[in-house]
Structure 1
Amino acid sequence: MSRQDVSSRTQTFSLWQQTSLITSTLIGVGILTLPRSTSAILYEAGWMSPVFGSVVAFVSVWMIAKLSQRFPGMTFIEYSAIVWGAKPHSRMGRWLSLPWIMAYLGFMYVSTAVVSRIFGEVVVTSVLLDTPLEVIIITMFLLAFILSLHELEVVARINELLLPMVLLPVLFIALASFQKADWNNLLPFFRASGSSLFRGAYEAIYSFSGYEIMLIFFAYARENKGKVKAGFYGIAITMVIYTLIVVAGIVVFGYEELQRVAWPTLELVKTTQVPGLILERLESAFLAVWVTAVFTTVANAYYAVIYGLRQLFNRGMAFQRILSAILFIPLYFVALWPQNTVEMFRISSYLGMYSLILNLGVPFLYLTILFLRGLGRTQKERNADG
């Protein structure tokens, strides 16, 4: 079935579903390492890192939303040819847009592999000590593969359902950890220099990476004007969660001790006690929630890649299912490419730089071209089934 032969369903993404897609994708593996990486640069002021990082993320998602508003009902894959071509569907436009499309899809693909590898490292070093890393990674990929067998509306509904199951426990853990807080660990407030603030914001960039999936999913928004609002809500919710986690880590351990811990948030959970000892091993419950958070990050990104390729080749659902099974195999080897944890974090740092360039540079370039050419105000909205 071709993409033009879609059914007549009219279900489109609500504001909450768009917000859920953004938030669920952003909250992932970064929540375990952010207290250590930010306090290594900003010391007591490490909590400022997600705040400043969220500003950069919102500027980017604002540009992505504005792009989508100019082409309602069209994804980045589709309107790229119009932006770069002399006329819609021109051959020149398709060829000129191809490098940008492949750069976007390639980044999402590699990020999916790296996030899965970090997830696997945490599980095999903290919980399932005798389980091979490969088994953990394959299990996560299988879940992402199963989701990619369905249409977009299923993705939106799953994110809508799982987001409260992630947010509420994480908020509870962050607030409960303040029982052992030493608030003097946040002093002095203004020790960090301007350059340190900039580097700290950059450190948080990769943790905020993932909202670029909306280059695909914004095409199915129910209200064209609500896209900026959804981006703001998604970034704001993530910023609050990340800031609370970093503050909790600093006030409980201090920034010096955080540098000696591989997964500081997990250690924070282990030191937290629920009143009445309702849960004696709180880290087990936290890891269950964290697995859900990582699943939405991996599955959403992988789906965006598969769906983007489906549109690039102008195919239907059968092609998407076959492609998702084929790309599953190289994704596994990409995830195992880093030889150790140090190399894995170094690759994550490179991806953070690439993410900053891609997510700020490409939307800005596209908006500039649209401004110069006066394009992108007459397209129609589309349904969420392809």
Structure 2
Amino acid sequence: MKMGTTRITTMQMITLLSSTLIAVGIFTLPRTLAIEVGTPDLWICILIGGIFGYLSALIMVSLSLRFNRLTFFEFNKLIVGKWVGTILSVCFIGYALLIGSFEIRSMGELTQFYLLEETPISVILISMYWVAMYLLVGGINPIARLIELLTPICIIIFILVFALGFKVFEFNNLRPLLGLGAAPVLKGLTPTFLTFSGLEFLLVFIAMMQNPKDAKKVAFFGLAIPVSIYLFAVVVITGGLSVERMKHQKWPTFALIQEYEYEGILFERFESLFLVVWLIQMFTTYVVCQYVAAKGVSTLTRISYKKANYILLAAVYIICLVPKDLNELEKMGTIIGWTSFVFSFIVPGLLLLIALVRRLKQDGETKDET
């Protein structure tokens, strides 16, 4: 494969980033925020979380552009040395695997609960792995093209399904505004860390862009799309169910969709359509996570990108089966959220500071992933 074919366009990068951030959080975030915040101010948490996410994205963009065409796995060694850089890279690979495992396990749980109740979850997971592998072995370009194709369709269906939810919407469920002050809102910022996990992959993908100078545009639009969608979802779900009902619903998103029904049109009930769309979103997020992990392994070792993908399948499968139930899966999500904060803000911030102090800046070229 020629080097020129491994570049992704600005639009592909925007859809790739936004698709990575729009995943299982659409199911888990409303309930988690309702429990943590306990007031109708859930939507404020998402806005603040999105602002902090954009600030961290600007840090990552500034860091990546100082080392043109070098990924995180390559330029961190130039900043902090070979050994510390290798440790950071290994931790980043583990983090990507953790997110990927969380997404595909959540995808398996949803599939089993709503579609294949009698099917063992291990069978569901293995089936998903091999479909993902078929896409992964082709490298970043097939992944980016597929996501570019699917993301607009998923967003349109999402907006349609939730807009129909206004049939049961009660504006009073969003009142009062800041009735208990700002303290509950601050408590609700932690769950947004998981929601925006995956933003750190900018540290890898900016090096693969055809025009890296558009990275700030990618950060803005790639984050604005999921923030808008999560904001829309939480507002509609809160208005349709109320905060108290959201606390006691396993999947508030589906609970809302099951509240309304439209007769005389192609779909009278929309939960199946919505489930298919968001299974696609979780699948693409898993694929991106696995790609990043495999790219890291191939960069650090002499193992090829394709072989790294097959090796990592075993690791993902084992991690997937660690949570015994949904409660443990939620704890896993909390761990991912805090780890995301480390890799999206603390690590890039420190690396950028060191690079500025040492006046480090270098051009390079990424290697062929195959």
Interval containing the TM-score (normalised by the shorter chain): over 0.9
What's the CA shift for 1:140? Answer: 2.1
Judged with a 3 Å threshold, the aligned counterparts in structure 2 of structure 1 residues 340 and 227 are, in CA distance, closer, same or farther, namely: same
Equivalences for 1:213-224 in 2 at 5 Å?
A: 213-224=201-212
Judged with a 3 Å threshold, the aligned counterparts in structure 2 of structure 1 residues 184 and 226 are, in CA distance, closer, same or farther, namely: same
Computed over aligned residues only, the root mean square deviation of the Cα atoms, in angstroms, reads 1.8
How many matched pairs?
369
Quick check: 1:144 aligned with 2:128? no
Quick check: 1:284 aligned with 2:272? yes
What's the CA shift for 1:304? Answer: 0.6
What's the CA shift for 1:372? Answer: 0.6
What's the CA shift for 1:8? Answer: 4.8
Distance in 2 (CA, whole Å) between partners of 1:258 and 1:266 is 11
Which of 22, 25, 33 is matched with 1:30 structurally? 25
Equivalences for 1:55-94 in 2 at 5 Å?
A: 55-84=51-80, 93-94=81-82
What's the CA shift for 1:385? Answer: 6.0
For the Cα contact (< 8 Å) 2:295–2:369, is it kept in 1? no
For the Cα contact (< 8 Å) 2:71–2:366, is it kept in 1? no
Question: Match for 1:187: what amino acid?
Answer: R
Partner of 1:135: 123
Give deviations 1:234-269, integer Å, cap 9, x for gaps.
Answer: 111000100111111110111011111100111222
For the Cα contact (< 8 Å) 1:250–1:258, is it kept in 2? yes
Quick check: 1:160 aligned with 2:155? no
Identity of aligned residues (%): 28
Distance in 1 (CA, whole Å) between partners of 2:198 and 2:82 is 25
For the Cα contact (< 8 Å) 1:147–1:303, is it kept in 2? no
Judged with a 3 Å threshold, the aligned counterparts in structure 2 of structure 1 residues 96 and 41 are, in CA distance, closer, same or farther, namely: closer
Judged with a 3 Å threshold, the aligned counterparts in structure 2 of structure 1 residues 60 and 144 are, in CA distance, closer, same or farther, namely: farther
SS at match of 2:286: helix
Distance in 1 (CA, whole Å) between partners of 2:292 and 2:256 is 33
For the Cα contact (< 8 Å) 1:16–1:160, is it kept in 2? yes
For the Cα contact (< 8 Å) 2:103–2:283, is it kept in 1? no
Distance in 2 (CA, whole Å) between partners of 1:148 and 1:255 is 40
SS at match of 2:188: helix
What's the CA shift for 1:31? Answer: 0.3
Partner of 2:200: 212
For the Cα contact (< 8 Å) 1:144–1:303, is it kept in 2? no
What's the CA shift for 1:149? Answer: 0.6
What's the CA shift for 1:9? Answer: 3.0
What's the CA shift for 1:124? Answer: 1.2
Distance in 1 (CA, whole Å) between partners of 2:301 and 2:204 is 15
SS at match of 1:159: helix
For the Cα contact (< 8 Å) 2:28–2:251, is it kept in 1? yes
Partner of 1:307: 295
Judged with a 3 Å threshold, the aligned counterparts in structure 2 of structure 1 residues 66 and 272 are, in CA distance, closer, same or farther, namely: farther
What's the CA shift for 1:167? Answer: 0.8
Partner of 1:379: 363
Structure 1: give runs of 5+ residues left out of the alignment. 1-5, 85-92
For the Cα contact (< 8 Å) 1:152–1:384, is it kept in 2? no
Moved more, 189-198 or 21-30: 189-198
Q: Under a length normalisation based on structure 1, what TM-score does the superposition of the two structures give?
A: 0.91
For the Cα contact (< 8 Å) 1:39–1:255, is it kept in 2? yes
Judged with a 3 Å threshold, the aligned counterparts in structure 2 of structure 1 residues 384 and 179 are, in CA distance, closer, same or farther, namely: farther
Which of 141, 157, 169 is matched with 2:157 structurally? 169
Distance in 2 (CA, whole Å) between partners of 1:210 and 1:204 is 12
Which of 316, 329, 341 is matched with 1:331 structurally? 316
For the Cα contact (< 8 Å) 2:13–2:209, is it kept in 1? yes
Judged with a 3 Å threshold, the aligned counterparts in structure 2 of structure 1 residues 8 and 206 are, in CA distance, closer, same or farther, namely: closer
Give deviations 1:65-89, integer Å, cap 9, x for gaps.
Answer: 11111111110011111112xxxxx
Quick check: 1:370 aligned with 2:365? no
What's the CA shift for 1:11? Answer: 5.6
Partner of 2:84: 96
Q: Under a length normalisation based on structure 2, what TM-score does the superposition of the two structures give?
A: 0.95
Equivalences for 1:222-301 in 2 at 5 Å?
A: 222-274=210-262, 276-301=264-289
For the Cα contact (< 8 Å) 2:36–2:187, is it kept in 1? yes
Distance in 1 (CA, whole Å) between partners of 2:117 and 2:216 is 44
Question: Match for 2:4: what amino acid?
Answer: R
Moved more, 55-64 or 363-372: 55-64
